[in-house]
A and B are shown apart, each in its own frame.
Chain A
Amino acid sequence: MMDRYIEQFPVVINALNIGFLQTLKLFLVTLIGALPLGLIISFGSRSKFIPLKLLVRFIIWVVRGTPLMIQLLIIYYFPGLVFHNNIWGGQETGRFIATSVAFIVNYSCYFSEIFRGGIAGIPKGQDEAGLVLGLTKSEIFFKVKLLQMVKSILPPISNEILTLVKDTSLARIIALQEVIWAGQAFMKGSQGISGEIWPLFFTAIYYLIFNGILTVLLGKLEKKLEYFK
């Protein structure tokens, strides 16, 4: 009995590592895309040009009001079903790009709302102090307000980041070969192992360790920004 697990373990770990690499890639691509895009969207949702503001806020409302899983399914299948043109292709790369698009769109909307709150929370006096010193709007944003905003939004952003780690598992729905997919493969049969459910359960350890590391890193960053109030 024990022998069987000892035999399976390296094979499974190897497969899960490969799967987790894909998970990690999706996580990073989403962050790198959604953080700046979220900032741009937050400017749109604060725009003085009312039609733009309403449009952006409507999009945010739709994206935040529907499950990420459905967004992912729509983005992946819609072009193929409706236009008979599967722009993503059937390959792993295509699935990864489709997943990334869905995740970036979804998370940038969540981030944008956090950014919007963060920008609005900075006292007007900071803008005015910058203005009377002859600074430009962009200098005021990048040199005066950005770091204050980062400090104030770090706790909610950290929350979203930890959620994102777990949300990457949704990519399983379009068969992206991330860590859950890799674990599940051993139920159906893969590399001479079949009917095993423990690899699927074991994937939880990956999420746990990764989120643990992120929690420590984000906590450190928060500490680092405690030098000012």
Chain B
Amino acid sequence: MSILEVSHISKSFDRTEVLKDICFSLNKSDVMSIIGSSGSGKTTLLRCLNFLEEPDTGVIKINGEKIYDAKDQEYLSEAAKRSNRLHFGMVFQSFNLFPQYTALENVTLAKELHAKREPDFKAHKKDVLEAIREEGKALLTQMGLADRFDNYPHQLSGGQCQRVAIARALAMKPDILCFDEPTSALDPELTGEVLKVMKELADQKTTMIIVTHEMSFARDVSDRVLFMDDGYILEDGTPDEVFNNPKEERTAQFLASFNS
């Protein structure tokens, strides 16, 4: 069964329709890459999944359960969005780390704040916080940052920052981890280290949606590839189908622009 079902999502900004009747589903443990030229709506689609934008129409289901329905007020409250968006982790192009916190604190902050909301937090405070810290350290270690726990973001390279951001997203144990051009803000020599940890996550069967311009990476790690153009999904298939036998002329044109 699919972990994610997106049906008939649309989104307009000032009467310009940026997403048009988006439908797709995703199986657990699959990696889906979304490719497409700039302005085709990839970022907006990710932002709709975690409600940084509210879709104008459509339904989003996780494990068969509705987490969003544009027609139903119940899903639009701040509290509903706050709890439902936790199904998705988000890694931004520009990292968006919290500058005043160390790498480890960036990873643990949200977990700690969530724990503090629990009624029995006070009773187990020390153990809970210790467990969160240990988890954070394990995640950073997994990201190859075992020696960087106490560094502040400005003391880290772009590649290291992005890996902290990935650890921060993983700390919330999302069902699906989303990436919005995670290497686009990096110097070319730093993209490799980020793609490497993403590949490792894919190998560990992490369900991921990756918006990327790294075509060979997308071809290599993806189970599914979506090609978006002007707010539509034009292709939805295996890497082989989309890269080698695209259905649409537009896709072939787009792919050709990468080979030249």
- Are B99 and A129 in contact, CB atoms less than 8 angstroms apart? no
CA–CA, A228 and B155, complex, Å: 9
- Are B85 and A132 in contact, CB atoms less than 8 angstroms apart? yes
Task: Tell whether B196 is near chain A: CB-to-CB under 8 Å.
Answer: no
One of A88-96, A140-148, A170-178 contacting the partner: A140-148
Task: Tell whether A227 is near chain B: CB-to-CB under 8 Å.
Answer: yes
Which residues of the other chain, A, contact B94 by a CB distance below 8 angstroms? 125
- Are B152 and A131 in contact, CB atoms less than 8 angstroms apart? no
**CB < 8 Å: which of A123, A125, A135, A228 contacts B154?**
A228
Do A228 and B88 contact each other (CB < 8 Å), given the known contacts A134-B82, A148-B100? no
Which residues of the other chain, B, contact A147 by a CB distance below 8 angstroms? 100
Which residues of chain A in 151-202 are interfacial with respect to chain B, using CB atoms and an 8 Å cutoff?
151
Do A125 and B113 contact each other (CB < 8 Å), given the known contacts A132-B50, A132-B90, A228-B154? no
- Are A129 and B114 in contact, CB atoms less than 8 angstroms apart? no
Number of interface residues of B (CB under 8 A): 27
Task: Tell whether B234 is near chain A: CB-to-CB under 8 Å.
Answer: no
Task: Tell whether B197 is near chain A: CB-to-CB under 8 Å.
Answer: no
Do A143 and B113 contact each other (CB < 8 Å), given the known contacts A125-B96, A126-B98, A129-B98? yes
Task: Classify the secondary structure of A's interface with B.
Answer: helix
Do A134 and B114 contact each other (CB < 8 Å), given the known contacts A128-B96, A147-B100, A228-B154? yes
CA–CA, A128 and B89, complex, Å: 12
CA–CA, A143 and B108, complex, Å: 12
Q: What's the A-B contact tally at a CB cutoff of 8 Å?
A: 66
Which residues of the other chain, B, contact A133 by a CB distance below 8 angstroms? 109-110, 168-169, 172
- Are A125 and B99 in contact, CB atoms less than 8 angstroms apart? no
Task: Tell whether A64 is near chain B: CB-to-CB under 8 Å.
Answer: no
Contact with A along B45-88 (1 / 0, CB 8 A): 00000101000000000000000000000000010001101101
CA–CA, A132 and B98, complex, Å: 13
- Are B96 and A228 in contact, CB atoms less than 8 angstroms apart? no
15 contacts between A and B (CB under 8 A): A126-B98, A129-B96, A129-B98, A131-B50, A131-B82, A132-B85, A132-B89, A133-B110, A134-B83, A134-B86, A134-B172, A135-B110, A143-B109, A228-B100, A228-B153
Task: Tell whether B92 is near chain A: CB-to-CB under 8 Å.
Answer: yes
The interface of chain A, by Cβ under 8 A from chain B, is 123, 125-126, 128-137, 139, 143-144, 147-148, 151, 227-229
CA–CA, A143 and B110, complex, Å: 10
Closest to A125 in B: B96
- Are A129 and B97 in contact, CB atoms less than 8 angstroms apart? yes
- Are B113 and A135 in contact, CB atoms less than 8 angstroms apart? yes
Query: Measured between C-beta atoms, what is the minimum distance from A150 to chain B in Å?
Result: 10
- Are A229 and B98 in contact, CB atoms less than 8 angstroms apart? no
Closest to A225 in B: B100
